[in-house]
Structure 1
Amino acid sequence: MPLRDQKIGFLGGGAMAEALIAGLLRSGLVEPASVYASDISAARQEYLEQKFGIKTADNSSVVSAADIVVLAVKPQAISGLLEEIAPAARPELTVVSVVAGISTDFIEGFFKTPVPVVRVMPNTPCLVGEGASALSPGKFCSQPNMDKALAILKASGQAVVVDESMMDCVTGLSGSAPAYMYLIMEGFIDGAVRLGLSRDVARVLTAQTMLGSAKMVLETGEHPAKLKDMVTTPGGTTIAGLYALEEGALRSVLMKAVAEAALRSSQLAPGKNSKT
Protein backbone atom coordinates (compact mmCIF):
# COMPACT_ATOMS: atom_id res chain seq x y z
CA MET A 1 0.00 0.00 0.00
CA PRO A 2 1.61 3.28 -1.15
CA LEU A 3 0.24 5.27 1.79
CA ARG A 4 1.08 2.84 4.58
CA ASP A 5 2.85 4.65 7.46
CA GLN A 6 2.77 7.88 5.45
CA LYS A 7 1.94 11.22 7.03
CA ILE A 8 0.09 13.55 4.67
CA GLY A 9 0.02 17.32 5.02
CA PHE A 10 -2.31 19.75 3.25
CA LEU A 11 -1.19 23.34 2.79
CA GLY A 12 -4.44 25.19 2.26
CA GLY A 13 -7.63 23.87 3.80
CA GLY A 14 -10.25 24.89 1.26
CA ALA A 15 -12.90 22.82 -0.48
CA MET A 16 -10.51 20.72 -2.54
CA ALA A 17 -8.29 19.88 0.41
CA GLU A 18 -11.40 18.98 2.41
CA ALA A 19 -12.60 16.70 -0.40
CA LEU A 20 -9.27 14.87 -0.61
CA ILE A 21 -9.04 14.51 3.17
CA ALA A 22 -12.58 13.14 3.27
CA GLY A 23 -11.76 10.62 0.53
CA LEU A 24 -8.61 9.42 2.27
CA LEU A 25 -10.34 8.91 5.59
CA ARG A 26 -13.47 7.39 4.04
CA SER A 27 -11.34 4.85 2.17
CA GLY A 28 -9.40 3.90 5.29
CA LEU A 29 -6.07 4.45 3.54
CA VAL A 30 -4.87 6.63 6.41
CA GLU A 31 -5.95 7.42 9.95
CA PRO A 32 -6.84 10.96 11.09
CA ALA A 33 -3.70 11.06 13.23
CA SER A 34 -1.61 10.79 10.04
CA VAL A 35 -3.19 13.83 8.38
CA TYR A 36 -2.11 17.44 8.92
CA ALA A 37 -3.46 20.69 7.51
CA SER A 38 -2.76 24.40 7.54
CA ASP A 39 -4.86 27.32 6.44
CA ILE A 40 -4.64 31.10 6.55
CA SER A 41 -7.92 31.06 8.51
CA ALA A 42 -7.80 29.85 12.10
CA ALA A 43 -11.53 29.20 11.93
CA ARG A 44 -11.02 26.96 8.92
CA GLN A 45 -8.30 25.01 10.73
CA GLU A 46 -10.60 24.53 13.71
CA TYR A 47 -13.36 23.33 11.39
CA LEU A 48 -11.09 20.71 9.81
CA GLU A 49 -9.89 19.53 13.21
CA GLN A 50 -13.42 19.11 14.51
CA LYS A 51 -14.84 17.50 11.36
CA PHE A 52 -12.06 15.00 10.68
CA GLY A 53 -10.05 14.72 13.90
CA ILE A 54 -6.85 15.67 12.07
CA LYS A 55 -3.99 17.85 13.28
CA THR A 56 -3.42 21.45 12.18
CA ALA A 57 -0.30 23.59 12.34
CA ASP A 58 1.59 26.30 10.46
CA ASN A 59 2.88 25.62 6.95
CA SER A 60 6.50 24.85 7.83
CA SER A 61 5.52 22.55 10.69
CA VAL A 62 3.20 20.60 8.40
CA VAL A 63 5.97 20.16 5.83
CA SER A 64 8.46 19.06 8.49
CA ALA A 65 6.03 16.47 9.89
CA ALA A 66 4.72 15.06 6.60
CA ASP A 67 6.00 12.50 4.10
CA ILE A 68 3.60 13.79 1.44
CA VAL A 69 2.63 17.46 1.11
CA VAL A 70 -0.38 18.56 -0.92
CA LEU A 71 -0.26 22.17 -2.14
CA ALA A 72 -3.87 23.36 -2.20
CA VAL A 73 -3.76 27.15 -2.30
CA LYS A 74 -4.85 29.62 -4.98
CA PRO A 75 -2.36 30.34 -7.81
CA GLN A 76 -1.82 33.89 -6.53
CA ALA A 77 -0.54 32.52 -3.20
CA ILE A 78 1.80 29.81 -4.47
CA SER A 79 5.03 31.84 -4.71
CA GLY A 80 4.82 33.08 -1.13
CA LEU A 81 3.95 29.61 0.13
CA LEU A 82 6.87 27.97 -1.68
CA GLU A 83 9.31 30.57 -0.37
CA GLU A 84 8.05 29.88 3.15
CA ILE A 85 8.32 26.09 3.03
CA ALA A 86 11.47 25.78 0.91
CA PRO A 87 13.83 25.46 3.92
CA ALA A 88 11.80 22.47 5.19
CA ALA A 89 11.65 20.68 1.82
CA ARG A 90 13.80 17.54 1.42
CA PRO A 91 14.43 14.92 -1.29
CA GLU A 92 12.43 12.18 0.47
CA LEU A 93 9.32 14.39 0.47
CA THR A 94 6.62 13.93 -2.18
CA VAL A 95 4.98 17.23 -3.15
CA VAL A 96 1.57 16.97 -4.79
CA SER A 97 0.26 20.23 -6.27
CA VAL A 98 -3.42 20.79 -7.07
CA VAL A 99 -2.77 24.47 -7.87
CA ALA A 100 -4.22 25.31 -11.29
CA GLY A 101 -1.81 26.53 -13.95
CA ILE A 102 1.40 26.01 -11.95
CA SER A 103 4.05 23.80 -13.56
CA THR A 104 6.28 21.28 -11.83
CA ASP A 105 9.32 23.25 -13.05
CA PHE A 106 8.04 26.36 -11.30
CA ILE A 107 7.59 24.53 -8.00
CA GLU A 108 10.91 22.67 -8.24
CA GLY A 109 12.70 25.97 -8.79
CA PHE A 110 12.01 27.06 -5.21
CA PHE A 111 13.77 24.08 -3.63
CA LYS A 112 17.54 23.89 -3.10
CA THR A 113 17.57 20.09 -3.41
CA PRO A 114 15.79 17.80 -5.93
CA VAL A 115 12.27 17.33 -4.54
CA PRO A 116 9.76 15.05 -6.29
CA VAL A 117 6.75 17.06 -7.48
CA VAL A 118 3.51 15.70 -8.93
CA ARG A 119 1.12 18.12 -10.63
CA VAL A 120 -2.56 17.27 -10.32
CA MET A 121 -5.76 18.68 -11.78
CA PRO A 122 -8.70 17.39 -9.71
CA ASN A 123 -12.29 18.58 -9.82
CA THR A 124 -15.02 19.34 -7.33
CA PRO A 125 -16.89 15.98 -7.61
CA CYS A 126 -14.04 14.71 -5.41
CA LEU A 127 -16.32 16.06 -2.67
CA VAL A 128 -18.69 13.13 -3.26
CA GLY A 129 -16.06 10.53 -4.15
CA GLU A 130 -16.59 10.86 -7.90
CA GLY A 131 -13.72 13.12 -8.91
CA ALA A 132 -11.86 13.04 -12.20
CA SER A 133 -8.18 13.85 -11.75
CA ALA A 134 -5.15 13.93 -14.03
CA LEU A 135 -1.57 13.69 -12.77
CA SER A 136 1.81 14.58 -14.30
CA PRO A 137 5.24 13.77 -12.82
CA GLY A 138 8.01 16.32 -12.42
CA LYS A 139 11.58 15.56 -13.43
CA PHE A 140 12.59 14.24 -9.99
CA CYS A 141 9.50 12.09 -9.60
CA SER A 142 9.83 8.30 -9.35
CA GLN A 143 7.13 5.65 -9.71
CA PRO A 144 6.73 5.32 -5.92
CA ASN A 145 6.07 9.07 -5.77
CA MET A 146 3.43 8.73 -8.48
CA ASP A 147 1.90 5.73 -6.74
CA LYS A 148 1.42 7.82 -3.59
CA ALA A 149 -0.22 10.65 -5.51
CA LEU A 150 -2.44 8.25 -7.44
CA ALA A 151 -3.58 6.60 -4.21
CA ILE A 152 -4.61 9.97 -2.77
CA LEU A 153 -6.62 10.94 -5.85
CA LYS A 154 -8.18 7.52 -6.46
CA ALA A 155 -9.59 7.65 -2.94
CA SER A 156 -11.89 10.40 -4.27
CA GLY A 157 -12.72 9.12 -7.75
CA GLN A 158 -10.83 8.21 -10.92
CA ALA A 159 -7.33 9.36 -11.80
CA VAL A 160 -5.22 9.16 -14.96
CA VAL A 161 -1.63 10.08 -15.84
CA VAL A 162 -1.05 12.58 -18.66
CA ASP A 163 1.90 14.48 -20.07
CA GLU A 164 2.26 17.84 -18.36
CA SER A 165 1.90 19.62 -21.71
CA MET A 166 -1.76 18.50 -21.61
CA MET A 167 -2.52 19.90 -18.16
CA ASP A 168 -4.06 23.15 -19.40
CA CYS A 169 -6.35 21.07 -21.62
CA VAL A 170 -7.30 18.90 -18.62
CA THR A 171 -8.07 22.05 -16.65
CA GLY A 172 -10.38 23.25 -19.41
CA LEU A 173 -12.03 19.83 -19.58
CA SER A 174 -12.50 17.96 -16.30
CA GLY A 175 -11.34 20.82 -14.08
CA SER A 176 -13.95 23.26 -15.37
CA ALA A 177 -16.54 20.88 -16.82
CA PRO A 178 -18.58 20.42 -13.63
CA ALA A 179 -19.75 24.01 -14.17
CA TYR A 180 -20.64 23.19 -17.78
CA MET A 181 -22.55 20.12 -16.64
CA TYR A 182 -24.50 22.11 -14.08
CA LEU A 183 -25.43 24.67 -16.72
CA ILE A 184 -26.63 21.94 -19.05
CA MET A 185 -28.59 20.31 -16.22
CA GLU A 186 -30.16 23.64 -15.36
CA GLY A 187 -31.29 24.00 -18.96
CA PHE A 188 -32.87 20.55 -18.98
CA ILE A 189 -34.63 21.22 -15.67
CA ASP A 190 -35.96 24.58 -16.81
CA GLY A 191 -37.12 23.02 -20.07
CA ALA A 192 -39.14 20.43 -18.19
CA VAL A 193 -40.53 23.01 -15.76
CA ARG A 194 -41.64 25.08 -18.74
CA LEU A 195 -43.70 22.11 -19.89
CA GLY A 196 -45.31 21.66 -16.48
CA LEU A 197 -43.11 19.18 -14.58
CA SER A 198 -42.29 20.05 -10.98
CA ARG A 199 -38.78 21.33 -10.40
CA ASP A 200 -37.95 18.65 -7.82
CA VAL A 201 -38.97 15.83 -10.15
CA ALA A 202 -37.14 17.44 -13.08
CA ARG A 203 -34.00 17.78 -10.98
CA VAL A 204 -33.96 14.11 -9.95
CA LEU A 205 -34.67 12.86 -13.48
CA THR A 206 -32.04 15.14 -15.02
CA ALA A 207 -29.29 14.37 -12.51
CA GLN A 208 -29.89 10.62 -12.58
CA THR A 209 -29.99 10.62 -16.38
CA MET A 210 -26.62 12.39 -16.54
CA LEU A 211 -25.18 10.05 -13.90
CA GLY A 212 -26.47 6.95 -15.68
CA SER A 213 -25.25 8.13 -19.06
CA ALA A 214 -21.76 8.77 -17.71
CA LYS A 215 -21.73 5.36 -16.05
CA MET A 216 -22.64 3.70 -19.35
CA VAL A 217 -19.70 5.38 -21.09
CA LEU A 218 -17.27 4.26 -18.37
CA GLU A 219 -18.60 0.72 -17.92
CA THR A 220 -19.26 -0.21 -21.56
CA GLY A 221 -16.19 1.47 -23.03
CA GLU A 222 -18.30 2.43 -26.02
CA HIS A 223 -17.88 5.71 -27.88
CA PRO A 224 -20.54 8.24 -26.80
CA ALA A 225 -21.69 8.52 -30.42
CA LYS A 226 -22.56 4.82 -30.48
CA LEU A 227 -24.49 5.09 -27.23
CA LYS A 228 -26.28 8.16 -28.61
CA ASP A 229 -27.31 6.21 -31.71
CA MET A 230 -28.72 3.45 -29.50
CA VAL A 231 -31.27 5.96 -28.15
CA THR A 232 -32.04 7.56 -31.51
CA THR A 233 -34.75 5.88 -33.58
CA PRO A 234 -35.68 7.10 -37.09
CA GLY A 235 -38.27 9.85 -36.96
CA GLY A 236 -38.47 9.62 -33.17
CA THR A 237 -38.40 12.03 -30.26
CA THR A 238 -34.65 11.89 -29.61
CA ILE A 239 -33.63 12.83 -33.16
CA ALA A 240 -36.00 15.79 -32.96
CA GLY A 241 -34.26 16.98 -29.82
CA LEU A 242 -30.81 16.34 -31.29
CA TYR A 243 -31.74 18.42 -34.32
CA ALA A 244 -32.53 21.34 -32.02
CA LEU A 245 -29.17 20.94 -30.26
CA GLU A 246 -27.34 20.86 -33.60
CA GLU A 247 -29.17 24.01 -34.71
CA GLY A 248 -27.83 25.67 -31.54
CA ALA A 249 -24.27 24.45 -32.32
CA LEU A 250 -24.04 22.77 -28.90
CA ARG A 251 -20.95 20.70 -29.71
CA SER A 252 -19.11 23.68 -31.15
CA VAL A 253 -19.95 25.81 -28.09
CA LEU A 254 -18.71 23.10 -25.72
CA MET A 255 -15.48 22.74 -27.69
CA LYS A 256 -14.95 26.51 -27.44
CA ALA A 257 -15.60 26.40 -23.68
CA VAL A 258 -12.83 23.81 -23.19
CA ALA A 259 -10.43 25.85 -25.32
CA GLU A 260 -11.16 29.13 -23.51
CA ALA A 261 -10.77 27.57 -20.07
CA ALA A 262 -7.51 25.89 -21.16
CA LEU A 263 -6.19 29.24 -22.38
CA ARG A 264 -7.08 30.84 -19.06
CA SER A 265 -5.26 28.06 -17.23
CA SER A 266 -2.10 28.82 -19.20
CA GLN A 267 -2.26 32.43 -17.95
CA LEU A 268 -2.43 31.60 -14.22
CA ALA A 269 1.27 31.17 -13.52
CA PRO A 270 2.79 34.00 -11.44
CA GLY A 271 4.17 36.74 -13.62
CA LYS A 272 1.33 36.40 -16.10
CA ASN A 273 -2.10 37.95 -15.91
CA SER A 274 -3.24 36.32 -12.65
CA LYS A 275 -6.77 37.69 -12.46
CA THR A 276 -9.23 34.86 -11.78
Structure 2
Amino acid sequence: MTQRIAILGAGVMGETLLSAILSSGHPVDHLVISERRDDRAAELREAYGVEVTGNAEAAAGADVVLLVVKPQDVPALLQEIAGSVAPGTTVVSLAAGIRIEAIASALPDGVAIVRAMPNTPALVGEGMFGISPAPAVTEEQLAAVVTLLESGGKVVVVEEALQDAVTAVSGSGPAYVFYLAEAMIAGGVAEGLDPETARILAQQTLVGSAKLLAGSEETAEELRRRVTSPNGTTHAAITTFDERGVKAGLVAGVAAAAARSAELSAPQ
Protein backbone atom coordinates (compact mmCIF):
# COMPACT_ATOMS: atom_id res chain seq x y z
CA MET A 1 0.00 0.00 0.00
CA THR A 2 1.33 3.42 -0.96
CA GLN A 3 2.03 5.57 2.08
CA ARG A 4 0.60 9.03 2.46
CA ILE A 5 3.42 11.52 3.01
CA ALA A 6 3.04 14.95 4.63
CA ILE A 7 5.80 17.54 4.35
CA LEU A 8 5.38 20.28 6.92
CA GLY A 9 7.31 23.32 5.72
CA ALA A 10 7.59 24.55 2.14
CA GLY A 11 10.95 26.27 2.36
CA VAL A 12 13.96 25.33 0.24
CA MET A 13 14.51 21.92 1.86
CA GLY A 14 10.79 21.16 2.00
CA GLU A 15 10.40 21.83 -1.72
CA THR A 16 13.59 19.88 -2.42
CA LEU A 17 12.15 16.81 -0.69
CA LEU A 18 8.81 17.31 -2.42
CA SER A 19 10.48 17.34 -5.83
CA ALA A 20 12.75 14.38 -5.01
CA ILE A 21 9.94 12.21 -3.64
CA LEU A 22 7.76 12.90 -6.66
CA SER A 23 10.68 12.21 -9.00
CA SER A 24 11.14 8.83 -7.32
CA GLY A 25 7.69 7.84 -8.55
CA HIS A 26 5.61 8.48 -5.43
CA PRO A 27 2.06 9.35 -6.56
CA VAL A 28 1.17 13.00 -6.13
CA ASP A 29 -2.25 12.13 -4.71
CA HIS A 30 -0.49 10.46 -1.75
CA LEU A 31 1.60 13.51 -0.89
CA VAL A 32 0.68 16.79 0.78
CA ILE A 33 2.74 19.82 1.81
CA SER A 34 1.87 22.61 4.22
CA GLU A 35 2.23 26.31 3.51
CA ARG A 36 0.49 29.30 5.12
CA ARG A 37 1.15 31.91 2.42
CA ASP A 38 -1.46 31.86 -0.33
CA ASP A 39 0.93 32.99 -3.06
CA ARG A 40 3.52 30.34 -2.18
CA ALA A 41 0.79 27.67 -1.96
CA ALA A 42 -0.39 28.62 -5.44
CA GLU A 43 3.18 28.30 -6.76
CA LEU A 44 3.52 24.78 -5.37
CA ARG A 45 0.16 23.66 -6.74
CA GLU A 46 1.05 25.03 -10.16
CA ALA A 47 4.56 23.54 -10.22
CA TYR A 48 3.83 20.09 -8.78
CA GLY A 49 0.07 19.55 -8.82
CA VAL A 50 0.30 18.75 -5.13
CA GLU A 51 -2.22 19.34 -2.35
CA VAL A 52 -1.18 22.31 -0.19
CA THR A 53 -2.86 22.90 3.15
CA GLY A 54 -2.26 23.77 6.80
CA ASN A 55 -0.01 21.84 9.18
CA ALA A 56 -2.69 20.04 11.17
CA GLU A 57 -4.67 19.17 8.05
CA ALA A 58 -1.57 17.83 6.31
CA ALA A 59 -0.57 15.68 9.29
CA ALA A 60 -4.04 14.16 9.71
CA GLY A 61 -4.14 10.75 8.06
CA ALA A 62 -0.48 10.78 7.01
CA ASP A 63 1.62 7.66 7.41
CA VAL A 64 4.86 9.65 7.45
CA VAL A 65 5.17 13.28 8.55
CA LEU A 66 8.34 15.19 7.67
CA LEU A 67 9.07 18.21 9.86
CA VAL A 68 11.05 20.57 7.63
CA VAL A 69 10.99 23.84 9.57
CA LYS A 70 13.53 25.92 11.46
CA PRO A 71 14.48 24.53 14.89
CA GLN A 72 12.95 27.49 16.71
CA ASP A 73 9.61 26.79 15.01
CA VAL A 74 9.43 23.11 16.03
CA PRO A 75 7.79 23.51 19.49
CA ALA A 76 4.86 25.50 18.09
CA LEU A 77 4.52 23.12 15.15
CA LEU A 78 4.42 20.07 17.42
CA GLN A 79 1.76 21.70 19.56
CA GLU A 80 -0.27 22.46 16.43
CA ILE A 81 -0.18 18.91 15.03
CA ALA A 82 -0.30 16.90 18.28
CA GLY A 83 -4.02 16.31 17.94
CA SER A 84 -3.73 15.23 14.30
CA VAL A 85 -0.90 12.70 14.50
CA ALA A 86 -2.20 9.21 15.19
CA PRO A 87 -0.33 6.40 16.96
CA GLY A 88 1.60 4.39 14.37
CA THR A 89 2.51 7.48 12.37
CA THR A 90 6.20 7.99 11.65
CA VAL A 91 7.42 11.53 12.33
CA VAL A 92 10.76 12.49 10.81
CA SER A 93 12.38 15.69 12.09
CA LEU A 94 14.94 17.42 9.86
CA ALA A 95 15.30 20.31 12.31
CA ALA A 96 18.89 20.59 13.53
CA GLY A 97 19.48 20.08 17.23
CA ILE A 98 15.98 18.94 18.20
CA ARG A 99 16.26 15.75 20.24
CA ILE A 100 13.98 12.75 19.88
CA GLU A 101 12.99 13.09 23.54
CA ALA A 102 11.72 16.64 22.98
CA ILE A 103 9.60 15.55 20.01
CA ALA A 104 8.23 12.50 21.81
CA SER A 105 7.15 14.55 24.81
CA ALA A 106 4.99 16.77 22.59
CA LEU A 107 3.26 14.02 20.59
CA PRO A 108 0.89 11.17 21.50
CA ASP A 109 2.23 7.82 22.65
CA GLY A 110 2.79 5.32 19.86
CA VAL A 111 4.22 7.78 17.35
CA ALA A 112 7.46 6.53 15.78
CA ILE A 113 10.11 9.27 15.74
CA VAL A 114 13.19 9.53 13.54
CA ARG A 115 15.70 12.36 13.77
CA ALA A 116 17.51 13.32 10.56
CA MET A 117 20.37 15.65 9.65
CA PRO A 118 20.31 16.63 5.94
CA ASN A 119 22.73 18.78 4.00
CA THR A 120 22.37 21.24 1.15
CA PRO A 121 23.56 19.01 -1.74
CA ALA A 122 20.10 17.45 -1.47
CA LEU A 123 19.15 20.43 -3.67
CA VAL A 124 20.85 18.63 -6.57
CA GLY A 125 19.90 15.09 -5.55
CA GLU A 126 23.25 14.43 -3.88
CA GLY A 127 22.33 15.00 -0.27
CA MET A 128 23.62 13.16 2.78
CA PHE A 129 21.14 12.24 5.50
CA GLY A 130 22.28 10.92 8.87
CA ILE A 131 19.23 9.47 10.62
CA SER A 132 18.58 8.16 14.13
CA PRO A 133 15.44 6.20 15.05
CA ALA A 134 13.83 6.16 18.46
CA PRO A 135 13.99 2.73 20.14
CA ALA A 136 10.33 2.01 19.35
CA VAL A 137 10.74 2.51 15.59
CA THR A 138 10.25 -0.79 13.79
CA GLU A 139 12.53 -2.10 11.04
CA GLU A 140 9.71 -1.61 8.57
CA GLN A 141 9.18 2.02 9.60
CA LEU A 142 12.91 2.74 9.46
CA ALA A 143 13.22 1.14 6.02
CA ALA A 144 10.38 3.32 4.76
CA VAL A 145 12.16 6.47 5.99
CA VAL A 146 15.45 5.38 4.41
CA THR A 147 13.73 4.77 1.07
CA LEU A 148 11.98 8.12 1.27
CA LEU A 149 15.12 10.13 1.99
CA GLU A 150 17.21 8.21 -0.55
CA SER A 151 15.18 10.04 -3.17
CA GLY A 152 17.35 13.06 -2.27
CA GLY A 153 20.73 11.37 -1.78
CA LYS A 154 22.38 8.83 0.50
CA VAL A 155 21.33 7.76 4.01
CA VAL A 156 23.27 6.38 6.96
CA VAL A 157 21.72 5.21 10.23
CA VAL A 158 23.52 6.20 13.44
CA GLU A 159 22.75 6.33 17.15
CA GLU A 160 21.31 9.65 18.24
CA ALA A 161 24.39 10.27 20.41
CA LEU A 162 26.38 10.54 17.16
CA GLN A 163 24.16 13.20 15.59
CA ASP A 164 26.57 15.96 16.64
CA ALA A 165 29.35 14.16 14.74
CA VAL A 166 27.07 13.79 11.71
CA THR A 167 26.31 17.50 11.88
CA ALA A 168 30.02 18.31 12.04
CA VAL A 169 31.03 16.08 9.13
CA SER A 170 28.18 16.22 6.63
CA GLY A 171 25.73 18.84 7.89
CA SER A 172 28.39 21.56 7.94
CA GLY A 173 30.63 19.70 5.49
CA PRO A 174 29.55 21.46 2.27
CA ALA A 175 30.91 24.71 3.72
CA TYR A 176 34.32 23.06 4.19
CA VAL A 177 34.36 22.09 0.52
CA PHE A 178 33.35 25.61 -0.53
CA TYR A 179 36.08 26.97 1.76
CA LEU A 180 38.62 24.74 0.00
CA ALA A 181 37.32 25.95 -3.36
CA GLU A 182 37.77 29.56 -2.24
CA ALA A 183 41.39 28.85 -1.31
CA MET A 184 42.14 27.02 -4.56
CA ILE A 185 40.67 29.85 -6.61
CA ALA A 186 42.58 32.48 -4.62
CA GLY A 187 45.77 30.48 -5.09
CA GLY A 188 45.22 30.26 -8.84
CA VAL A 189 44.57 33.98 -9.11
CA ALA A 190 47.74 34.68 -7.10
CA GLU A 191 49.66 32.63 -9.68
CA GLY A 192 48.33 34.72 -12.57
CA LEU A 193 45.07 33.05 -13.62
CA ASP A 194 42.03 35.22 -14.21
CA PRO A 195 39.29 34.60 -11.61
CA GLU A 196 36.89 32.87 -14.02
CA THR A 197 39.50 30.42 -15.28
CA ALA A 198 40.62 29.72 -11.73
CA ARG A 199 37.00 29.11 -10.72
CA ILE A 200 36.42 26.63 -13.57
CA LEU A 201 39.64 24.77 -12.82
CA ALA A 202 38.91 24.49 -9.09
CA GLN A 203 35.24 23.70 -9.51
CA GLN A 204 35.69 20.87 -12.01
CA THR A 205 38.62 19.47 -10.05
CA LEU A 206 36.42 19.20 -6.96
CA VAL A 207 33.51 17.69 -8.91
CA GLY A 208 35.73 15.15 -10.64
CA SER A 209 37.63 14.25 -7.48
CA ALA A 210 34.39 13.73 -5.55
CA LYS A 211 33.06 11.41 -8.25
CA LEU A 212 36.36 9.51 -8.31
CA LEU A 213 36.30 9.09 -4.54
CA ALA A 214 32.64 8.04 -4.50
CA GLY A 215 33.17 5.45 -7.21
CA SER A 216 36.40 3.98 -5.91
CA GLU A 217 37.01 1.19 -3.41
CA GLU A 218 40.23 2.95 -2.39
CA THR A 219 40.39 5.21 0.66
CA ALA A 220 40.81 8.96 0.31
CA GLU A 221 44.32 8.56 1.71
CA GLU A 222 45.27 6.01 -0.97
CA LEU A 223 43.82 8.10 -3.78
CA ARG A 224 45.79 11.08 -2.52
CA ARG A 225 48.98 9.03 -2.44
CA ARG A 226 48.47 7.93 -6.03
CA VAL A 227 48.71 11.50 -7.32
CA THR A 228 51.54 12.50 -4.98
CA SER A 229 54.82 11.65 -6.73
CA PRO A 230 57.96 11.91 -4.57
CA ASN A 231 59.42 15.42 -4.81
CA GLY A 232 56.78 16.40 -7.38
CA THR A 233 54.41 19.38 -7.47
CA THR A 234 51.68 17.68 -5.43
CA HIS A 235 54.23 16.55 -2.86
CA ALA A 236 55.37 20.16 -2.51
CA ALA A 237 51.79 21.28 -1.89
CA ILE A 238 50.92 18.50 0.59
CA THR A 239 54.16 19.06 2.49
CA THR A 240 53.31 22.75 2.79
CA PHE A 241 49.79 21.92 3.96
CA ASP A 242 51.24 19.68 6.68
CA GLU A 243 53.79 22.30 7.72
CA ARG A 244 51.01 24.91 7.99
CA GLY A 245 48.75 22.54 9.95
CA VAL A 246 45.95 22.42 7.36
CA LYS A 247 44.86 18.85 8.13
CA ALA A 248 45.08 19.38 11.88
CA GLY A 249 43.05 22.57 11.47
CA LEU A 250 40.31 20.77 9.56
CA VAL A 251 40.13 17.99 12.16
CA ALA A 252 39.94 20.62 14.91
CA GLY A 253 37.23 22.43 12.95
CA VAL A 254 35.09 19.30 12.78
CA ALA A 255 35.55 18.86 16.53
CA ALA A 256 34.51 22.48 17.12
CA ALA A 257 31.42 22.04 14.97
CA ALA A 258 30.46 18.90 16.89
CA ALA A 259 30.93 20.68 20.21
CA ARG A 260 28.80 23.60 19.08
CA SER A 261 26.11 21.21 17.84
CA ALA A 262 26.04 19.60 21.27
CA GLU A 263 25.67 23.00 22.91
CA LEU A 264 22.82 24.01 20.63
CA SER A 265 20.93 20.74 21.10
CA ALA A 266 21.33 20.57 24.88
CA PRO A 267 18.06 20.79 26.82
CA GLN A 268 17.33 24.35 27.86
Question: What TM-score results when the alignment is normalised by the length of structure 2?
Answer: 0.94
| Aligned pairs for 1:1-276 within 5 A | 5-28=2-25, 30-269=26-265, 272=268
Give percent identity, aligned residues only: 38
Residue pair 1:68, 1:94 contacting (<8 A) in 2 also:
yes
Residue pair 1:68, 1:96 contacting (<8 A) in 2 also:
yes
Aligned-pair CA distance for 1:221: 2.3
C-alpha separation between the residues in 2 aligned to 1:194 and 1:101?
40
Superimposed CA distance per residue, residues 156-193 of structure 1 (whole angstroms, 9 cap, x where no aligned partner): 11111111110011011100111111111111112112
Q: Which has the higher contact order (CA 8 A, sep 6+)?
A: 1
Secondary structure of the 1:50 match is helix
Superimposed CA distance per residue, residues 180-239 of structure 1 (whole angstroms, 9 cap, x where no aligned partner): 111111111121122232333322322222122222222222121111110000110001
Cα RMSD after superposing both structures: 1.7
Aligned-pair CA distance for 1:105: 1.7
Residue pair 2:87, 2:108 contacting (<8 A) in 1 also:
no
Look up the equivalent residue of 1:83 and give its one-letter code.
Answer: Q
C-alpha separation between the residues in 1 aligned to 2:213 and 2:83?
46
Residue pair 2:61, 2:86 contacting (<8 A) in 1 also:
no
Superimposed CA distance per residue, residues 73-130 of structure 1 (whole angstroms, 9 cap, x where no aligned partner): 1111111111111111112211111111112121111123210011111101000011
Look up the equivalent residue of 2:235 and give its one-letter code.
Answer: I
Residue pair 2:65, 2:89 contacting (<8 A) in 1 also:
yes
> 1:40–1:245: structure 2 CA closer, same or farther, 3 Å change rule?
farther
> 1:10–1:250: structure 2 CA closer, same or farther, 3 Å change rule?
same
Question: What TM-score results when the alignment is normalised by the length of structure 1?
Answer: 0.91
C-alpha separation between the residues in 1 aligned to 2:27 and 2:193?
46
C-alpha separation between the residues in 2 aligned to 1:179 and 1:50?
33
Aligned-pair CA distance for 1:40: 4.5
Look up the equivalent residue of 2:3 and give its one-letter code.
Answer: Q
Look up the equivalent residue of 1:15 and give its one-letter code.
Answer: V
C-alpha separation between the residues in 2 aligned to 1:140 and 1:41?
36
C-alpha separation between the residues in 1 aligned to 2:266 and 2:243?
41
C-alpha separation between the residues in 1 aligned to 2:100 and 2:267?
16
Residue pair 2:88, 2:110 contacting (<8 A) in 1 also:
no
Aligned-pair CA distance for 1:14: 1.3
When structure 1 is superposed on structure 2, of 99-108 and 190-199 the one drifting more is 190-199
Residue pair 1:75, 1:268 contacting (<8 A) in 2 also:
no
Look up the equivalent residue of 2:9 and give its one-letter code.
Answer: G
